[in-house]
Structure formats: structure tokens, C-alpha cells
Structure 1
Amino acid sequence: MKRLFAFICLFVVAGCNLFEPTYSEGSFPTTVVNLGEVNSAYDDYNSTSHVVGGVMALVFSSKRGGRTDFDFIHESLNTLFDLKGGKFSFDNHPYGGLDVVAEQSTLTWATYVVNTPANELGPYIRSYEHDLLSADVYSNYNHHGEYMMLFASDRTGNLDIYLTHNYQDSVKSVNGSSSPLSNKNFTAPVSIPFLNSTADDAYPTFDQTNSSIYFTSNRDGSFAIYKAPLPTINPNELHRQLPKLTNVAIERVSELSSSADDKCPFISDNTLVFTSNRAGGFGGYDLYYSKWDGSRWSAPVNFGADINTSYDEYRPILCNLQQFSNQLMIFSSNRPGGKGGFDLYRVGIPK
């Protein structure tokens, strides 16, 4: 009888586990949520992100501490979806993947090099190891923790686009250290003259093939989205060649631009997101998206009232994380209910 009772108990326990919900992949919540501890009582906006696994390196502009100008801040974020219980968690305490946190830590050095008493805005990060170079090139961690950062700054008066990087031509070490992150300091920022004008030029982003740079500029009056087609450049030469390019044909992207202000383009795969105060929105700046069909961009679509408000929604970025059925969009907004000024928010959107 005791053996029968024990067997029944074991079956009941096992049965409970059998009927627990399980998920094949995660899903980001589709309700807009404030990033919480990442934000401050001051303006926090204009972010970019580098993702490895479930760890995100978020770099954004902030006036925290009562600054009069925007400086870059680097935060590490942790994303997790429990496939067994369906619980989603998102915080700035990356207790898992500490090797990834170490890999992304060099981005803090980038902020030290880039920040000035002027405004630093619209950062854009590309990892050599994960985004730019093929597997055979970055084997053995040769380019582990190496990044190229494009950004805008008004250090000379108007907003211009600059570049900094910590690419290493060969593996180097400091004081005999064998760490793959040794000697990964960032270079002094240099401007990219072919993108800049006497007006404001900002928010650069590569297309999905790294063959063009899109950015925003008010060189023709209002802000519009422009495209700069690039010549064929070896990815490990981008940081050297971009500042030297001349005679690049800059074109206004008519499908994406309007008579209003269209800003902050960001491309992920075949999707471009941006912000605009064009007619037909919900008030202030709204977020829009467009799809690339192989030859042109589709007519921009407003993200709707579930994401946009009568206040300003600004600088959207898209983050693709592994094992999620949708993708994460992070943006900034000065809507009520935040910590103060502009705050950073997140929301899940369809891929």
C-alpha cells in the first residue's frame, strides 16, 4: 500500500509538471513600459544598443546630474523570458552572461572619449565581431569587444556627424595581459565630411548591407531623411575610409521625407523606423516605420495610439534578441508619468 501511495504521489507531481504551460520562444510585452531605473529626473533619450544573447549594451544621451548639455551614458540591460512559466523580466542588473557584459564594457571607454561640454546625440554602434566582420576574420577573439560608434555633436556650432572606434589591426596586450579586451581604447573622434554640411546633420545608420548610410539633416530647410550610397569598402577599413570619402552623391529619400520634420532614422534588416511631426499623427512627434521591398521604401506607417501620444515620441531603435517571436523597440518620450523630461521606454512590436 505504501508503495502504491508513493507511486500515486509521484504521478501527481509529475502530472503537475506535464500540464504547466511551456513556450517555444519568448514574447516582448506589447504595452509601452518605462525603463525605470535606467532613467533619471533629467532628459534621457537618443539611444542605441548592441545585443549579445539576452544582454543589451544601451548607450544614450542624458542631462542627468543637472547638466546643460547631453552626454553619453552606457548601461547594461538584462532580458529574460522563462520558457517554462512564461515570465518576462527586464532590468539593468545583468546577473547572467557576465562574459558578455565584459565584452560590452569597452563602450564605457567610448563615452569617456566622446563626451564634451557640447551636446552628444544620436549614437550608433556597430560591433566588428558580430556586425561587420565574417567568422573567419574574428576567430580566436581577435576583434572581441571592438566597436565603431557614429554620433552627432554640436561642438563646432551646428550638429555634425563623427566617428570613433577601437578596432585593432592585430592582437595587442598591455603589460603582458592575455585578456582579449586589453588595449581596446577608443580613438579621438573625427568628423565624416561627406555627411556634414553647414546645417544640422545627425542620426546616422547603416542599411542592412552596410552599403549606404542614412541620416537626418535640415540642409534644405526642414529636417528630412537622406541617403549616402557608399563605394565598396572592406568592413575592417570603414573606420579609416569613411572620414576620407569625397564626392559622395547625397540624396533626399522622397518616400520617407515630408514637408514637416522627419528625424532619427534607424534601420534593422528591412525595417526603418523614425520620428516625425508630419500631419495625421497624434500630436508632437510620432513614431513611424517603413519596409524595404528590395528597391524602395514603402509609405511610412504610424505606429498608432498604442505607442504614440499627444506628446513627443523620439529616436526609436529596434533590438532583435534570440528566442523572441517579436522584436523590442526602445524610444524616448516626454509623456506624463516618467521620471522627468524625456524618459526611455520599451515595447514589443512585430518582426
Structure 2
Amino acid sequence: MKSNNHTIKPFGDFPVRNLEILAFRYECGITKLKKNLSLFGLLILLFACDKFNTGQFPENPVNLGELNSSFDDINSDIPFVNHEVQLVFSTNRGNNQSLDFNLIVSSIDFNWDRSDGILLVNSSNKLFDAKFQSFRDMVRRTESPAHEKGPYSFLESEGNRVLLFSRENDGVYSIFSEQEKPSIGARITQNHQILNEKSNEMYPCFYGEDFIKGIDITPSRPEKMIFSSDKDGKFDIYEAAIPVGQSPLQFLSQSNSKTIQKLAFNTSSNDHMPFVYGDLLVFSSDRPGGFGGYDLYYSQKTANGWTVPINFGPKINSEFDEYRPVVSEQPEFSNRLMIFSSNRPGGLGGFDLYFVGIPKF
């Protein structure tokens, strides 16, 4: 594996160091204090060692470096809210003949150096710890000769983690599920048809008053499901209510018809690849008024529904395509982490994964 050590300064004076395995960390050197140092001097030194108390993600996108390849790396999911991110994404690397997309999982650390105000982004080997073995095995079980895209994980009842994704069969994508701890004798991989029609159904995600993606030490019940479909000839974003008393997996597994409605902000263009974090909905769209290709937009949930979407602007979007944004929060950071994929120039080839900081709206 090649080294990819560099320092850039996309956020004011705060540099980002993207190191391959282990980041160099500045030490405050308190143990080197001379015995005759005054109390005032000690307080100054302690303050200097912690002068950048709150971390900030850069406001300009940064390529995720070693996680990317010369192929297409797209459609990620962040299963847990933590500074160590287990990133599940779709890639066609290693499939030189068929170029089919499969899901893989990689681990990265986002650490903020309080003494120097440096964001340390490291490839992590903690993914290979025993506690992640069953999670990694679940992701591997999704692999097939067909395309798998748009992963989304959540915690089901009794602490069972479920991974949703879309798989292509005969040119049509439908939503599948894989369980981390499947019941004995139960089907491991299930196919879920929502609209019961021959249309593409992709990018499922959930939201609810007490549900925040990734903050699920104990399961909390989502109230709504959001997904995209080209039922009417182009992609729109849909919403479905999950009945009280049903878990998301029960809701998806039932064959009865479901109450589905389009979100009001859909346009005559493609509104696609949604993701919800708390009251924030982010998605991709090729609607007019963007900067070219697919752009990233956001909308907020209010008592009156979803607000009119706002373009993330030219710092994040480009004249090329920006796909499937996902959002998370990391401890001790003042803004949120957003990861997305783009085929803009300067990457390793095809679509690459990027990260950027966005406000806590």
C-alpha cells in the first residue's frame, strides 16, 4: 500500500493530516517542566496545550485517500457515531471482468489535536478487532454477481444490527436486508418490494422524533421510512409511515400494501439518494440551478413538513456529479461530518469518497 501523507489547510488555519496508518501527535511536554516553574507558568502551558478545544471538519471537501481506488467508490454508510468510523461503501474494484459493485467495509479515525488544531485522519486497523468480526461478516454476505449499492444500517430489536441495501436483478434494483445475528433457520438475506411494481427502489433510510442514525446503543423506533424510486419515469423521494407496533424490518417484510407518498419538494428532474440524520435530509439532484451534473442539497423537518431544499453551494458541489451524501456527528466537533462520492478531477479515478464539514443546522 502506498503512502499518502500530506497536510492541507481547507478550514481557515486548521490543517488536515491524512496519514496512512498512524498519525503523528504533538505532545504538550508537561512532564518536561522544570521544578521551579511558577504556578502561573504552569497554567499558561496547560492552556496552550488545550487551546483548540473544539474540533472542526474542513469546509472544503477532502479526498479520503487510501480508502479510494482507481475504480468507482460510492454510496457509503456510517453505522456508528464515533470518531472511529466503520464506513460501508459500494465499489467495483477487483472485478476487472464484470465490474459489478459489491459492499465492503473500511475503518478510519477522525481525531482532533487540541494542542495544534490539527485534524488527524488515519486509516485504522481496529476494524480487525474481534468485536467487529460479525459486522464485517454481515457485509461480506451481501456479495453476489449482481450490483449492490446504497447501504444503510440500523439497530433492530434485541440489539440485532440490520444492513439494508439495493441489489440489481434483471436491470431493476430492489431493497434487500441482511442481519448481523440472523435467527437459526431464518432467511439471512431477504428481498423487500415496497411499491410492488417493476421500478427501481433504492436508498432506504429512517427518521423519527427519538431516532438519530448511528446513536442507537439501545434500539429506538423510527416513525418514517424515506427512499427513492423511478416509479414515474425519473427518480423521486418517497416517504412511508411505519405503523405503531412494527419494527422497520417487520414493516419491510410484510407483503401488504403500504401507504406511500412523494415528498412535496420533488421536481421534474431526478431527486435521488436520500439520507436522514435527525431532522436533516440530504440528497442528490440534477434539478436546474445547480453547478453541474448531480448536486448535493439539504432540507429540514419542521411541523409543516420538509423545507424547500437548499444547495450546499460551490465549496461542496462541482460541475461534475456529487452522489449519495451521508451525515454523522463526531465527539468534540463543532460541525457535522458529511461523506459523499464525486467524479470530480483530482481523485484516484472514477468516483471517489470525500469528507467535508457542514453546520449543525
Give TM class, smaller chain. 0.7 to 0.9
1:7 alignment partner, SS class: coil
Verify the 8 A CA contact 2:83 2:111 in the aligned structure 1: yes
Structural mapping, 1:1-351, within 5 Å = 7=36, 15-65=44-94, 66=96, 67-94=98-125, 102-128=130-156, 143=159, 146-167=160-181, 188-209=188-209, 210-235=222-247, 238-255=248-265, 257-351=266-360
Length-normalised TM-score, structure 1: 0.82
Verify the 8 A CA contact 2:82 2:329 in the aligned structure 1: no
Task: Work out the number of aligned pairs and report it.
Answer: 313
Verify the 8 A CA contact 1:317 1:329 in the aligned structure 2: yes
Distance 1:309 1:92 in 2: 26
Deviations 1:142-186 (A, max 9, x none): x3xx311111111243011111213467xxxxxxxxxxxxx9x99
Deviations 1:62-113 (A, max 9, x none): 0111251100011111111123332211122156xx79x5434323212222
| Larger displacement relative to structure 2 (336-345 or 18-27) | 18-27
Verify the 8 A CA contact 2:165 2:202 in the aligned structure 1: yes
- Aligned-residue offset at 1:293: 0.8
Verify the 8 A CA contact 1:122 1:202 in the aligned structure 2: yes
Distance 2:113 2:228 in 1: 39
Distance 1:325 1:190, change over 3 A: same
- Aligned-residue offset at 1:282: 0.3
AA at the equivalent of 2:262: R
Distance 1:20 1:302 in 2: 38
- Aligned-residue offset at 1:11: 6.6
Distance 1:161 1:311 in 2: 27
For structure 1, the 5+ residue unaligned runs are: 170-182
- Aligned-residue offset at 1:188: 2.7
1:45 alignment partner, SS class: strand
1:280 alignment partner, SS class: coil
Q: State percent identity of aligned pairs.
A: 36
Distance 1:299 1:117 in 2: 40
Distance 1:41 1:68 in 2: 12
Verify the 8 A CA contact 1:265 1:272 in the aligned structure 2: yes
Length-normalised TM-score, structure 2: 0.80
- Aligned-residue offset at 1:285: 0.3
Runs of 4+ in 1 over 3 A off after TM superposition: 8-21, 101-105
Distance 1:20 1:111, change over 3 A: closer
1:292 alignment partner, SS class: strand
- Aligned-residue offset at 1:50: 1.4
Distance 2:49 2:178 in 1: 50
1:288 alignment partner, SS class: strand
More strand by share: 2
- Aligned-residue offset at 1:53: 2.9
2:253 alignment partner, SS class: helix
1:154 alignment partner, SS class: strand
Verify the 8 A CA contact 2:195 2:257 in the aligned structure 1: no
1:114 alignment partner, SS class: coil
- Aligned-residue offset at 1:30: 1.4
Verify the 8 A CA contact 1:20 1:84 in the aligned structure 2: yes
Distance 1:189 1:291 in 2: 33
Verify the 8 A CA contact 1:195 1:228 in the aligned structure 2: no
Distance 1:71 1:6, change over 3 A: closer
- Aligned-residue offset at 1:319: 1.1
Distance 1:26 1:205, change over 3 A: same
AA at the equivalent of 2:79: H
Distance 2:120 2:195 in 1: 40
- Aligned-residue offset at 1:196: 4.7
For structure 2, the 5+ residue unaligned runs are: 1-33, 210-221
- Aligned-residue offset at 1:52: 4.3
Verify the 8 A CA contact 2:48 2:115 in the aligned structure 1: no
- Aligned-residue offset at 1:34: 0.2
2:289 alignment partner, SS class: coil
AA at the equivalent of 2:119: F
2:78 alignment partner, SS class: strand
- Aligned-residue offset at 1:341: 0.1
AA at the equivalent of 1:82: D
1:109 alignment partner, SS class: helix
